[in-house]
Amino acid sequence: MVKIKINGPYDFDRVLQRLSIDPLMVIDQKERTVKVPMYQQDTPIVVKVNATGTKEEPSFQLTCTAELSETELNQIKTIFQWDKPLQNISNHFAKTDLATIFQEHEGTPLVLDFDLYHCLMKCIIHQQVNMKFAHTLTERFVHTFGFEKEGVWFYPKPEAVAKLDYEQITELKMSRRKAEYILDTSQLIANDDLPLYSLDSLSDEEILKKLIKIRGIGPWTVQNLLLFGLGRPNLFPIADIGIQNALKKLKGLDQKPTVLQMQEWAKDWEPYLSYASLYLWRSIEPQAEELVK
C-alpha cells in the first residue's frame, strides 16, 4: 500500500461523480474508490485508488497486487493531476466573471483519461454521436477487442487493433468511415509512423499541425486529446455546445453567445482556459446534491 497526501482543495467525490458517467469505469462512490487499468512494463496491473482524506486535506491510498514503481506512481499522479495545485487556479478565477462557478465547484481537478491511446480512440468513437450512444460504442469496442483483469476492462493496444479488419469494427454498429479512422490511426501508431507517446514533448500548436494531417482527426479531436489526454492547461473549445450552453446560462442570455463574445470573455481566463472549460461543463452537469453523500 502506498499513501499519498497532497495540498487542498481537491474534491475526489466530484472526480468519482464525473468518472461514473463512463460505464467502463469501476467505481465505488460510497467507498470512494476507482480502479485504474495500467501497465507495468508489458504486464497489465490494476491500481485501486482510495480517497482517505477531505477536500481541504486530501489523502489517498494506492493498492495493487504488484509492487508499484516510481513510474506507475508518477502515472497515477499525472492522471489525477495531484501535482497541479488548484488553489492558485482558484485564486486566479476569483477575480473573473467565473468566480461563482469556481467557488461552487471548488476543488474539481482536470482528471486525464487513463491512457493516451485510449483517449484518442474514445475521441474518434465519440465524433458526431450523442454522449449516451458514444459510451455504448466505446464499451462495445473495449469488450470486443480488449480484455478484463480483476474486474477491470483494458482497452486493446494499438498493435492489436491494427490487425483487425474494417468489418470487425463495423459489426459493432460503427460506420465504415469511423472504422477506417480507428484502424488506420492504430496502424500508424503501431508502425511508429505516429509516435503518440512522444507528443507530450511538443507544443499545442505542433501537436495540432501533426495530428490534423491524419484522416479522421480534426480540431475537436485534437483539442480533446490535448485536454484529457495530455492535460494541457490553456484550451478553450469554443465550438463545444456544452460550453456555449453553460455561458448562455451564466450570462443570462436568450441565445448562445457568439464566437467573438466567447473570445473576448476568455481573455480574462488565460492561462487556465482548460479549467474555465472544465468548470463551465461542471456548472451544467449534475450538481452537489446529486453527488454521493
- CA distance from start to end of the chain: 26
- Distances 121 to 6, 48, 108, 115, 219 between C-alpha atoms, Å: 31, 24, 25, 10, 15
Catalytic residue among 28, 240, 254, 268: 240
Q: Which three cell numbers stand for residue 25?
A: 469505469
Query: Which stretches of 32-135 are assigned E, i.e. beta strand?
Result: 33-40, 43-51, 59-63
Cβ contact 100:68 at 8 Å? no
Distance CA 130, CA 261 (A): 26
Which letter does DSSP use for residue 199 in this model? Answer: G
3-state helix, strand, coil in the chain (%, to 5): 50, 10, 40
Q: Is 113 a catalytic residue?
A: no
Catalytic residues, which ones? 240
